[in-house]
Structure 1
Amino acid sequence: MTEVPVPDEKHMRLRYAGTCRACGVDLPARTDAIYQKSTKTVRCVECVPAPSEPEKPQLSRREGDPTEVEPGVPGGSARREFERRRASREQRIRVKHPRLGGLILALGDEPQSTTAWDTGAIGEERLGARLNEYASDSIRVLHDRRIPGSRANIDHIVVARSGVYVVDAKRYKGRPTLKVEGGVLRPRVEKLLVGRRDCTRVVDSVRKQVEVVRGIVEDDRVVHGVLCFVEADWPLIGGSFVTRDVDVLWPKKLYAKLSADGPWSTGQVRALHRLLGGALPPAH
């Protein structure tokens, strides 16, 4: 649709929150919008009035708006990397052993460096499927988002009334625990262990992803980092904890957080979802 020029309108990034005069959606600060000087009101960029007609509310995204944010495919990047590595190994073996290549592939296992991608993809796919089931007007999800200028990606982003959650899904075996060293005479050091495996670097990765999202939202208070272990050995009582501002928990505990009430309206949830979806495209 071609936007109709209006003399007293200006395309700008909002300094303050507002409400679209056409469709009634809440527009948070820093959102791209159209400001009308004569009425001192704003509207969504997508809400375009027809020539010589008054503005009419546009269809909501859930009613088929073609500008709907693409949620992405859970585990898409990990699944593609697994398939690429497996195909590359098969090609190398068949070229090196033209006659016995098929037999070698049938009897041999994929290396751990390859199966790790399959394991990770399954974890992201399972958690992503459940998040999609929870999706609603007040809980909107994004999966497998590419970080511009980096080879890294974000597994899941959930925008809910209580905030924005940057979720890293892991399918590790063992019990997650927090090990604290120092704190009196030495600097306090927190380590994340899953069984005997030191997974502290995973916390560092989530913190970097949170900083990326905070840079887009421009509000440190509303963005939360989450490490969700989908098949870990969690105790019957308790078990979840926080390390360096990152929540470490399991899927049901995450769903409870997402369902909690918060200060944002469904319109604000929608606008933030759209903002993040545009800034962090799907990692095709």
Structure 2
Amino acid sequence: MKLRYAGTCSRCGAELAAGELADYDRTSRSVACVSCGPRRGLDGPAEASEPPRRAMAAESAPLLEAVDGTAGGSAKQEYERRHDARQERVQAAHPRIGKFLLAVFDDPQTTTAWASGAMGEERLGDMLAEVAGPSLRVLHDRQVPGTKANIDHLVVCPSGVFVVDAKRYRGQRPELRIEGGIIRPREELLIIGGRNRTPLVDGMHKQVGLVRQVLADEPEVPVRGVLCFVEADWPLIGGAFTVQGVNVLWMKKLKALLAEPGPLGPDEIAELQWRLHEALPRKV
């Protein structure tokens, strides 16, 4: 990893400059030269060289690139896995006409949905790469611990942390529907193409809750959820809205939202990106 600040090699004692590549030990929070391997005694166990290992201060955590991870990586991988498995099944079941059947009949929707999702994530990832830098850092395709689920995108910028889920509903219009409010409780629903898609909002609440747990000791840092619809049918005027506290918008609108000023500076943004990287590793 690239170091945010200068440090000292825990193995040989050499000075390491800020921005230099170094090995980082999470347990001891220490750094070492990339080329400096651990010394070993005659009986095998590694021995620390002098001077003794020095624990790094939290602010000396390694510096990630402005964009960490691959947008749509796990969705694309899942599509390829399902596609290849179907190819093998069909050709095994129909040795003579298997290739013909595969040429005539497309993959089922449950398979192509992964390819479509990956494409939406990749397009959103390209946009985020254009605006990424010291004051806007991105993490793509993060593993949710203990599950097979992932978080599409995490963006850390001056106004806080944004949990962004890319959705690709071509030609369909997202809308806010309000039900109840007099006899029964008021309820906000997410409607897409005339169908109730409010479970997407519920899923975003879970992702936002997870990120807030990771940053539990930073309660002053806002964490907001965003459903970003790629290729949806948005009206010429207006269109973006909030449903149950979750922003629903398109890529250009998201770009403007992320550009809003806030209290976080480049060093704080880099530190938050590293903490999220540690707690939510890349899925692919």
The code of the aligned residue for 2:207 comes to: Q
Instruction: Look up the match of 2:223.
Output: 223
The code of the aligned residue for 2:197 comes to: C
Instruction: Look up the match of 2:191.
Output: 193
Match of 1:117 among 111, 114, 117: 114
Q: For each residue in 1:244-270, what CA deviation from the matched residue of structure 2 results, as whole angstroms up to 9, or x when unmatched?
A: 110000000100111111101111001
Instruction: Look up the match of 2:28.
Output: none
**Contact 2:63 2:274 (C-alpha < 8 Å) held by counterparts:** no
User: Quick one: percent identity of the two aligned structures?
Assistant: 49
Q: For each residue in 1:128-166, what CA deviation from the matched residue of structure 2 results, as whole angstroms up to 9, or x when unmatched?
A: 111011101000000000011111100000000111000
What SS does structure 2 have at the residue aligned with 1:166?
strand
The code of the aligned residue for 1:91 comes to: E
Instruction: Look up the match of 1:9.
Output: none
**Contact 1:70 1:282 (C-alpha < 8 Å) held by counterparts:** no
Structure 1 residues 110 and 261, CA gap change in structure 2 (3 angstroms): same
After superposition, residues 85-100 of structure 1 pair within 5 angstroms as: 85-100=82-97
Cα distance in 1 for partners of 2:242, 2:136 equals 23
| TM norm structure 1 | 0.78
Structure 1 residues 186 and 221, CA gap change in structure 2 (3 angstroms): farther
Instruction: Look up the match of 2:237.
Output: 237
Shift, 1:75, TM fit: 0.4
Does structure 1 residue 59 correspond to structure 2 residue 56?
no
The code of the aligned residue for 2:86 comes to: R
| TM norm structure 2 | 0.78
What SS does structure 1 have at the residue aligned with 2:247?
strand
Residue-pair matches, total: 239
Instruction: Look up the match of 1:75.
Output: 72
Cα distance in 1 for partners of 2:11, 2:95 equals 68
**Contact 1:69 1:278 (C-alpha < 8 Å) held by counterparts:** no
Shift, 1:191, TM fit: 1.1
**Contact 1:69 1:274 (C-alpha < 8 Å) held by counterparts:** no
Structure 1 residues 60 and 163, CA gap change in structure 2 (3 angstroms): farther
Cα distance in 2 for partners of 1:154, 1:51 equals 37
Shift, 1:189, TM fit: 1.5
Q: For each residue in 1:39-59, what CA deviation from the matched residue of structure 2 results, as whole angstroms up to 9, or x when unmatched?
A: xxxxx8983368998977522
After superposition, residues 27-38 of structure 1 pair within 5 angstroms as: none
Cα distance in 1 for partners of 2:67, 2:241 equals 32
The code of the aligned residue for 1:269 comes to: I
Does structure 1 residue 210 correspond to structure 2 residue 208?
yes
Does structure 1 residue 182 correspond to structure 2 residue 180?
yes
